[in-house]
Amino acid sequence: MYSISIKVLATVSVATLVLYSLTTKLDAHGFEGDRFFPPTISTDDPFAVDELSLPNISFFNNPPAGGAPKTLNIDFSSEFDKEIFPKFAVGIIFNYIVLKPQGQSYHAGFDNLGFDFKYQLFENPEHEFILSVGGEVDVGGTGSSTIGAESFSTYTPKLYIGKGFGDLPDSLKLLKPLAVTGTLGYVVPGESVSPNALSWGLAIEYSIPYLQQHVEEIDWLRPMRNLIPLVELVMNSPLNHSGGYTTGTVNPGILWESRYFQLGVEAQIPINRATGPNVGVVVGLQVYIDDIWPKIFGHPVFFKETK
């Protein structure tokens, strides 16, 4: 277990340093027209930009299964994404998981190392719309078997979308701060022991900063001018006629924005008993590294724009 953990840490450290050393102008990340799409906690946003999530921490009870009791799952997840070419980014994902079965001692370890990639395929700033394509690879055998990390790799091609509603008519001006982002992935395990699945997510956001800056400034909302209430849905549906249930959570929460970082918290409400027996919680910190270190981050490694 410890040798695997050290190996994962070394891999993450080296890969992060390599990406960091390659970077040497600041582009506003997460913007489409006037719309800022925040990096959501439980689902992925459609932007291929420099991002650092450090960390997201979730507390959730897994249901009893296969003779195992209800188990508290504490997940520390982090991700670093770097724009390599214009509108194309590569990321590193790593999770440290603590499991505490009811009535038993806890055990912990790293989950399999993940890599993701994303390309912003189509954008329409006037209508605050973006479509991206990409995917994620979960590298089998890089995590600890004590927390159930798979020995085989998993491949998930994905579509990402984002749409703001600032183009609505003024008669519906109070709906203009609404935005949605979504992901759709096809999960393909490297071995047939697990079924293929559809992994999909949706985030519905109401941006008070957008309301105050681009629609109408409302005096009594000024103390909340940095808040974005949202609801996220995180779902997984097995395929291949496996007979499994769709599992997932509905996550109402709120994001607090500043120039240099974002804080967020969400409840995790299971949609059925197959997902979990209790409501969980997830908190997240997103560091806007392109605003903190604009000379280093906020631009691609190759084919940077010059003035």
Confidence band for 29, pLDDT divided at 50, 70 and 90: low
Q: DSSP code of 242?
A: -
* 275 in any annotated domain: yes
The pLDDT assigned to 65 comes to 82
Task: Please answer whether residues 251 and 282 qualify as being in contact, where contact means their C-beta atoms are separated by less than 8 angstroms.
Answer: yes
Q: What is the DSSP string of 23-61?
A: ------TTEETTEE----SSS--S--S-EEEEEEEEEEE
The pLDDT assigned to 68 comes to 83
The pLDDT assigned to 242 comes to 61
* 177 in any annotated domain: yes
Chain centre to alpha carbon of residue 190: 23
Q: What does the pLDDT average to over 81-86?
A: 96
CA angle 136, 65, 140 (to 5 degrees): 25
Q: What does the pLDDT average to over 107-121?
A: 97
* 298 in any annotated domain: no
CA angle 195, 199, 200 (to 5 degrees): 155
Q: Which helix (H) or strand (E) holds 13?
A: helix 2-22
What is d(CA 258, CA 286) in angstroms, rounded to the nearest whole number? Answer: 10
Q: What is the mean pLDDT of the chain?
A: 89
The range of the structural domain enclosing residue 217 comes to 2-292
* 114 in any annotated domain: yes
* 244 in any annotated domain: yes
Q: What does the pLDDT average to over 223-246?
A: 89
Domain total in the chain: 1
Instruction: Select the more confidently predicted residue: 28 or 50.
Output: 50
pLDDT at residue 306 tops 80? no
The pLDDT assigned to 241 comes to 62
pTM given for the model: 0.86
CATH number for 77:
2.40.160.40
* 301 in any annotated domain: no
* 302 in any annotated domain: no
The pLDDT assigned to 243 comes to 63
The pLDDT assigned to 8 comes to 40
What are the tens digits of pLDDT across the range 267-305? 999 999 999 999 999 999 999 999 999 999 999 999 876
